[in-house]
Amino acid sequence: MRKDAGMSTSSLFRAADDRSGVARVLGAGVWLLFLVNPLGELAQDPWSPRSLLGFVSAAAFVAVYLVGLRTVRDTHVEGAYGAAALRLVLAAALACVFVVAAGDQGLVVWVYVAAMAAASLPSWSGLVVAGFLFVGVAVVGRLVPGWATHGNDFAVLLATGAVWSFRLAMQRQARLAAAERELSDLAVEEERSRIARDLHDILGHSLTVISVKSELAGRLVQVDPERAQTELEDVQRLARDALADVRATTRGLKGLSLPAEIAEARSALESAGIRPELPTVTEDVPTQWRELYAWTLRETVTNAIRHSGASRVDVTMGPAGIRVADDGTGPDAEGRTGGTGLKGLRHRAGELGAAITTGPGPDGRGFVVEVVVPA
């Protein structure tokens, strides 16, 4: 289930970028031009108590309105809906004073109150408040003698719809940002898992072969110095190759060569005293499956050397799959069924649509790993 499916309003606004705060204030400030008409009415007699009251209430209202819109995101993130409600009540009180001073032209101020309510109140509360304001403006504009709504009742609805649409757009943007972060986190986690699997397979195989060859060289150093020298040279080469493989893996460039893995498997098994029965050609293996076969060979040979106690390992491969069987102790041996290596191999095969089966041989002895690829 997606993480953002149950995100609250506060979580969504927290996820949104707040660089649009200044833009919100500037955008809201443009619409304050609609106060020109009622302020013009007051300016006809600017020094009368009524006009002075109107100018003061208008200035205070504009300040509260701009602060309210500038702090919309903080209100939702911090859950400071009490403060938002107080600002709304203060704005409504100043709006009442302004309407008394400016007359029916001042009804336009309720459009801004509705915008504040739709932007800052939780959930659907802002729409409910805006609905009451629409009814209030429509009733007052029609019932007070000599007054008219001047379209401000419908302007309340239009402003509310615009602000609510902007609020929903912010929430959709936040959901998108949250989804992108989740996908990014998943990609990072998948890459870590890939590197962990590759390092396990590479180092597990290389260190196992290095250990076997080192032990063999130690036994041969007195009885067959030339063979011991050859084995030590192999150990040095394997160490260099393992280091190169680790570097390539961390860069995401690691790929295995099937012929090279066959040669490595033959050398490793012989060094461990296990007779290898391996194919000498790989031409009939489709190109898209060669790397999977190579990983299968590397993991199964490493397990056979470590855990099986086998005297022989048989490998067969073709267009339909690869089968690796030994005559060792069977699947109950440590690391033979549930180890990290086989789990990683199953993951690789699953990504390519291949299937892996493991279990004892036909006679109940040994251990068999078979990978079947799609036709």
Q: Is residue 260 part of a domain?
A: no
The pLDDT value recorded for residue 158 is 92
Q: How many domains does the chain fold into? A: 2
Last residue of a domain, one of 182, 212, 240: 182
The answer to whether position 252 is within a domain reads: no
Looking up residue 286, the CATH number of its domain turns out to be 3.30.565.10
Q: Which of 132, 155, 182 is the last residue of a domain?
A: 182
- Please indicate, yes or no, if residue 266 is contained in any of the structural domains: no
Coil, helix or strand for 322? strand
Residue 10 sits in the same domain as residue 110? yes
Q: Chunk the chain into consecutive blocks of 10 residues (it has 375) and report each block's average pLDDT, rounded to whole numbers.
A: 44 50 62 85 89 93 88 78 91 94 92 90 86 93 89 90 84 76 75 70 73 84 84 80 66 66 86 88 79 89 85 92 89 60 84 90 86 90
- Contact call for residues 125 and 133 (beta carbons, < 8 A): no
Is residue 280 one of the residues assigned to a domain? yes
| Cα(371)–Cα(318) distance, integer angstroms | 11
Examine residue 254 and state whether it is found in any structural domain, yes or no: no
The residue among 182, 205, 237 that closes a domain is 182
| Residue-range definition of the domain harbouring residue 357 | 273-375
The Cα–Cα gap between 274 and 283 comes to: 26
Do 277 and 178 fall within a single domain?
no
Residue 127 lies in a domain: yes
The per-residue pLDDT for 28 is: 63
Q: How far, in Å, CA of 150 to CA of 155, rounded?
A: 9
- Give phi and psi for 356, each to the nearest 5: -120, 135
Note whether 11 and 127 are same-domain residues.
Answer: yes
Alpha-carbon distance of 59 to 32, in angstroms, equals 11
229 within a domain of the structure (yes/no): no
Question: What's the confidence (pLDDT) of residue 5?
Answer: 38
Token pair recorded at residue 219? 């036994």
* 162 plus 24 within the same structural domain: yes
